[in-house]
Amino acid sequence: MAVGKEDVEIVKARIDKRDYRRVVLRNSLQVLLISDPDTDKCAASMDVGVGYFSDPAGLEGLAHFLEHMLFYASEKYPVEDSYSKYITEHGGSTNAFTSSEHTNYFFDVNTDGFEEALDRFAQFFNKPLMSADATMREIKAVDSENQKNLLSDAWRMNQLQKHLSDEDHPYHKFSTGNWDTLEVRPKAKGLDTRSELLKFYEENYSANLMHLVIYTNESLDKIQNLVEEKFQDIRNINKSCFRARVQPCKSEHLQILVRTVPIKQGHKLRIVWPVTPEIHHYTEGPCRYLGHLIGHEGEGSLYYILKKLGWATALYAGESDWGLDFSFFKVVIDLTDVGHEHIQDIIGLLFKYIELLQQSGVCKWIFEELSAVCETKFHYQDKIRPSDYAVNIASNMKFYPVKDWLTGSSLPSKFSPSVIQMVLDQLSPNNVRIFWESKKFEGLTDKVEPWYGTAYSLEKITGSAIQGWVLSAPDENMHLPAPNKFIPTDLSLKIVQEKVKFPVLLSRSTYSALWYKPDTLFSTPKAYVKIDFNCPYSGNSPEAEVLTHIFTELLMDYLNEYAYYAQVAGLYYSINQTDGGFQMTLRGYNHKLRILLETIVEKIVTFEVKTDRFSVIKEMVTKEYQNLKYQQPYQQAMYYCSLILQDQTWPWIEQLDILPALQVEDLAKFVPAMLSRTFLEFYIAGNIESHEAQSIVKHIEDVLFNFSKPLCKPLFSSQHLENRVVKLESGMNYFYPSECLNPEDENSALVHYIQVGRDDFKLNVKLQLFALVAKQPTFHQLRSVEQLGYITVLMQRNDCGIRGLQFIIQSTVKSPGNIEQRVEAFLQMFETKLHEMTIDEFKSNVNALIDVKLEKHKNLREESSFFWREINDGTLRFDRTDYEVEALRQLTLQELIDFFNEYVKVGAPRKKTLSVRVHGNRHSSEYKTEASEPHLAKIDNIFTFRRSQALYGSFKGLSGQMKL
């Protein structure tokens, strides 16, 4: 029986049709019930108010380890991993994360599987089994997870900031744990990790510290009965909420300048101040207000000045690492090589801007504008995945009163100059911590952070020294932003005459094709515009490709101070290089979208190369390519796989070779040549009428093609883009071995790819169904039982309409060749399971996949991405879902087995595989000795191989002559 459902009005968005109810169970568990009759996925999130701050001394990572262990089994469901298996087989997904003061568990699932999924989920918090066998295996999984983070600059720098804080404060702790902290050290002290784990669970997991969100399509009353039945027996030991109470930084941790050596190329500056947590003043929004101004990118802003001087390529400002007891305000600046030499000037300019804010006083109009933007954003927010929504709210419930569970701190509405001034005063030279990262500090440091091995040195820095930097900083005209002209004022919805389900081809010419889809589902005042510039010259050599990349970056760079206002107002844009040219994407409120769109096109027409910006962008792009070698080994393996399969693609290493010699003149000559032959493909969707879409296309065609000296001419029919993919030979098993590009990385990786064939409804659903039934057994056997590595995935692959399957595994314990043997052993074991599958199990899996396919798009962006994929691949199967569902309904178990026997089974005569093996330094000796294996064909040179293979026909055809 619930203690009560309280009639507290929960603030929700104007367009939100869902029903909400807060319930408190008799064990003090607080629950938010969400009823959404339109949802086709149900979800739950349990937020437990215990995180790694509660780890016992000498058992670092215990809270995180417990999060892993709860997934295994329970008294009610003792079969190991049966929870995850059930979720996967019912079209869902599940995960968890451990934070400083809370741990969050969540899942989503098809509606018909929700009740049992919820029952299994509830057992995490009732009676979990934490067997000794599983304990040892999962310590290895935690260690593998930590191994993948060791060479990540984000993890390293975060831990360094924690390391340089009070040793007695929980902020100082190492959060994830590893083999050393969970096995070696406890054993040396005579501690049994499993006993400590059980003790930690018993002493900390209490219902009064838990917040649960349930999201379903059922009525609130029905959900409430379900929740009471399944969650009211969770123990309540009235555990008090963990509070740090004191600050993590004492005086010796302030006024410091820390030089540190990152893994990746580049220079970064992090300026950090301990501040009053905004959570105590979330309606006044002091950090939001200050982050908005210090992080602004419009004319007169700090970033605008740093960019003009050629010193920075990115700047972020805002609150981070916050809790109830302490918080940090951070300014993070990505520096150029020249900026790295002007560090004192940059810090001086930052404090100069803070002085400007002090002198200007807290501006009411800026706060009101910010408040209006936030209010519009909240009330017209897109629907997101139910599990994401549940996690967001469950994470809020601990911190906010009931009425603000949905809003959190997203609606600053109370103008309080004194509160903002209080936090502004804390951004002082006397309170600052400066972290400066650069490879140039290699060999110049004298200290090492113990958990990640980050090299650093530390010096104290006085407030008066910083004041000297302020005085000597360049005299630039910094000022507050102008009023934002992009804030939408017309949020009305257009009347759609007919309920169009799919995009229609509204127009086509030698210049362009226009696909149009009005919003018939979401009822938001938003639009989505994609323009694909098909420019054959952009991808015909490594040099052309890298010049196109620099062009798109420069275009974004030139637009930044103008278009930043649009982004603040909820109108987002991007310009990205593609295989056949570049793409513009705009999304957000439709009211002023066209103004931004026309400005971008005008910038293309009047594009000229500015020498100073060219140098900065070239340097940035160079570092981008250089840093590809620091990708995770599994990402490198996926890259090689794409390079082998996709025709007319160039390796980044060749582009990196070209970059040093590229000059301003090269780009100045290239851009007009690239644009000289162009075909435009438009996708325009959302709250926009067909005549408006046609008017946009006409305007752009006129500007680009119809002036007296047109920038562009139409493509010849022979020039239209083709996406072609290598057709592997039947019965062949290829492998491509490589050394990890980063010699320091101990992880190795395997991508084992099985090519199935061209897009075909019947074949697709067989592949998809196999992937569904094999996904969880793959994870359980190779990750949970054999402990190959934390990253263990089976997923589908789609290259321009050519379908396949891939196993992706990263490991420190096995070489790629050994992992491959384990994948094949798994497939042989799984063959038996497939033959043992009952008709009822088969039907259950088919129905789960049908439910997944029939899941509605949740927002305009999601719908547009689905339809654009069809256009971009050339498959144009907008009604794909209907046909694939029909194909699934007719599928038999024997046909699935036949599919396995033909395409997947080890040794199948027509099977086509490609294995990409990336060897980390632990397995470099295997790489050196790896010759062709008897049943495998080794690829020595990717491009020789690619040229020798047949290609699948392209779905693209002639872009300008698309069939309806």
pLDDT digits (tens, 9 = 90+) for 943-957: 999 999 999 998 886
> What's the Cα-to-Cα distance from 788 to each of 144, 782, 810, rounded to whole Å?
9, 6, 8
Question: What is the reported pLDDT for 961?
Answer: 39
Q: What is the pTM of this model?
A: 0.95
Q: Is the pLDDT of residue 931 over 70?
A: no
DSSP annotation of 145: H
Describe the crossing of helices 761-778 and 880-890 by its angle, rounded to 10 degrees. 70
| In the block, residue with structure tokens 């206002």 | 565
pLDDT digits (tens, 9 = 90+) for 754-767: 999 999 999 999 99
Nearest to 210 by CA among 55, 407, 395, 72: 395
- Give the residue, 927 or 328, on which the prediction is more confident: 328
If you average pLDDT over residues 353-378, what whole number do you get?
Answer: 97
d(CA 192, CA 186): 7
Question: What is the reported pLDDT for 322?
Answer: 86
Question: What is the reported pLDDT for 932?
Answer: 64
Q: Of 201-205, 369-373, 488-492, 931-935, where does mean pLDDT reach its minimum?
A: 931-935
- For residue 1, give both structure tokens: 């029986």
Q: What is the CATH number of domain 251-382+399-472?
A: 3.30.830.10
pLDDT digits (tens, 9 = 90+) for 796-825: 999 999 999 999 999 999 999 999 999 999
Question: What is the reported pLDDT for 6?
Answer: 53
- Considering only CA atoms, give the Rg of the chain: 29
- Please report which helix (H) or strand (E) contains residue 216, including its range: strand 210-216
> Is position 886 annotated as part of the catalytic site?
no
d(CA 47, CA 105): 7
Nearest to 150 by CA among 485, 835, 630, 611: 630
- The residues near 437 (Cβ < 8 Å, ≥ 6 apart) are 153, 157, 260, 261, 262, 266, 267, 268, 269, 270
- For residue 451, give both structure tokens: 């958990």
d(CA 118, CA 107): 9
> Is position 619 annotated as part of the catalytic site?
no
Please give the share of the chain, as a percent, with pLDDT higher than 90.
93
The domain locations on the chain are 19-232, 251-382+399-472, 504-632+653-714, 725-952
If you average pLDDT over residues 345-355, what whole number do you get?
Answer: 98
| In the block, residue with structure tokens 């490589």 | 738
Question: What is the reported pLDDT for 522?
Answer: 94
Question: What is the reported pLDDT for 3?
Answer: 44
Nearest to 436 by CA among 345, 334, 350: 334
Q: Do residues 312 and 337 touch, judged by C-beta distance below 8 A? A: no
Nearest to 529 by CA among 249, 261, 861: 861
Question: What is the reported pLDDT for 17?
Answer: 96
If you average pLDDT over residues 508-514, what whole number do you get?
Answer: 95
Domains 19-232 and 504-632+653-714 equal at CATH topology level: yes
The confidence band for 962, taking pLDDT boundaries of 50, 70 and 90, is very low
- The backbone torsions φ and ψ at residue 511, rounded to the nearest 5 degrees and listed phi first, read -90, -40
pLDDT digits (tens, 9 = 90+) for 102-134: 999 999 999 999 999 999 999 999 999 999 989
If you average pLDDT over residues 882-893, what whole number do you get?
Answer: 97
pLDDT digits (tens, 9 = 90+) for 740-754: 999 999 999 999 999
- Coil, strand or helix: which one is 516? strand
Q: Is the pLDDT of residue 627 over 80?
A: yes
d(CA 895, CA 891): 7
DSSP H helical ranges for 492-610: 542-568, 593-605
Residue-wise DSSP of 436-461: EEEGGGTT---EE-TTT--EEEEEE-
Question: What is the reported pLDDT for 244?
Answer: 84
The confidence band for 935, taking pLDDT boundaries of 50, 70 and 90, is confident
Sheet with 512-518, edge to edge strand ranges:
504-508, 512-518, 679-686, 526-534, 581-589, 571-578
- Please report which helix (H) or strand (E) contains residue 420, including its range: helix 417-426
Region of 929 on the Ramachandran plot (φ > 0 left; ψ -120 to 50 alpha; else beta):
alpha
Question: What is the reported pLDDT for 824?
Answer: 96
d(CA 237, CA 432): 41
- The residues near 894 (Cβ < 8 Å, ≥ 6 apart) are none
The confidence band for 648, taking pLDDT boundaries of 50, 70 and 90, is confident
> What's the Cα-to-Cα distance from 561 to each of 236, 313, 348, 370, 735, rounded to whole Å?
54, 13, 22, 18, 48
For the 725-952 domain, the top CATH level (class) is alpha beta
- The residues near 487 (Cβ < 8 Å, ≥ 6 apart) are 369, 372, 373, 376, 569
Q: Is the pLDDT of residue 958 over 50?
A: no
Residues in the chain: 964
d(CA 480, CA 358): 12
Q: Of 153-162, 235-244, 375-384, where does mean pLDDT reach its minimum?
A: 235-244
- Coil, strand or helix: which one is 910? coil
In this structure, the number of other CB atoms found within 10 A of the CB of residue 960 comes to 19
d(CA 360, CA 629): 46
Domain 504-632+653-714: homologous superfamily in CATH: Metalloenzyme, LuxS/M16 peptidase-like (3.30.830.10)
Question: What is the reported pLDDT for 957?
Answer: 63
CATH 3.40.640.10 fits 19-232, yes or no: no
Give the CA count within 13 Å in the CB-facing half-sphere of 753. Answer: 28
Active-site annotation holder among 138, 319, 437, 820:
138
- Give the residue, 719 or 427, on which the prediction is more confident: 427
Residue-wise DSSP of 802-829: EEEEEEEEEESSS-HHHHHHHHHHHHHH
Active-site annotation holder among 67, 101, 545, 619:
67
pLDDT digits (tens, 9 = 90+) for 681-711: 999 999 999 999 999 999 999 999 998 889 9
In this structure, the number of other CB atoms found within 10 A of the CB of residue 454 comes to 23
Look over the chain and give the mean of its residue pLDDT values, rounded to a whole number. 95
